[in-house]
A = this chain, B = another copy of it.
Amino acid sequence: MARWEAGADARLAKAAIELYLERGFEQVTVAEIAGRAGLTKRTFFRYFSDKREVLFAGSAAFQDAVVSAVIDAPDDVTPIDAVAAALAAGGAELTQLGEPVRRRQHLIAASTDLQEREMIKLAALTAAVADALRQRGLPDTAATLTAQAGIAVFTTAFERWSNQDEPADFPALLRGALSDLRTAISGQ
């Protein structure tokens, strides 16, 4: 997509990732990000509360897609399978973007500040998935535990994907991680 066709938020996110990779997250200012995107600081703050948030531009849309998929899963699908399928589909879409997503992941891994922000996003996602499961009639604790297990499996699969050079099938990575979690807690 040509630069002038993209929305300001996407341009800011692209500029931020470029600058963070060039000079490190800590060293880059909001003014520099806005400048690289050909926009003003004021525009930056209309979209993002701070320079961490710009790396999580897509997280609300991702969460909405996962929650909808959990709610819309057929009634005869078990809760963990509904969550796994929703996260597999979301992760497949995300990982199809390829190298930029991998680079973003490495940026986050290199900064405690960014890891904290990601943790907060993942906690919100976990809570939203648990709510979706309650809407499907799952009792409170089972919903929370299922959501937590789903997110643990998702982050494991995602980390495996971002450390691989070869393109990999995200749903297969997620199924592998779920199988690993079952083995890990079986106590065998």
Contacts and interface: CB of A to CB of B under 8 A. Distances in A.
A185 B146 contact: yes
A13 interface: no
Nearest to A188: B78
Interface residues of A, number: 30
Interface in A170-188: 177-178, 180-188
Contacts of A146: 184-185
Nearest to A115: B123
A149 interface: yes
Given A149-B185, A181-B185, A185-B80, A141 B119 contact: no
A115 B148 CA distance: 16
Interface of A: 78-81, 116, 119-120, 123, 141-142, 144-146, 148-149, 152-153, 156, 160, 177-178, 180-188
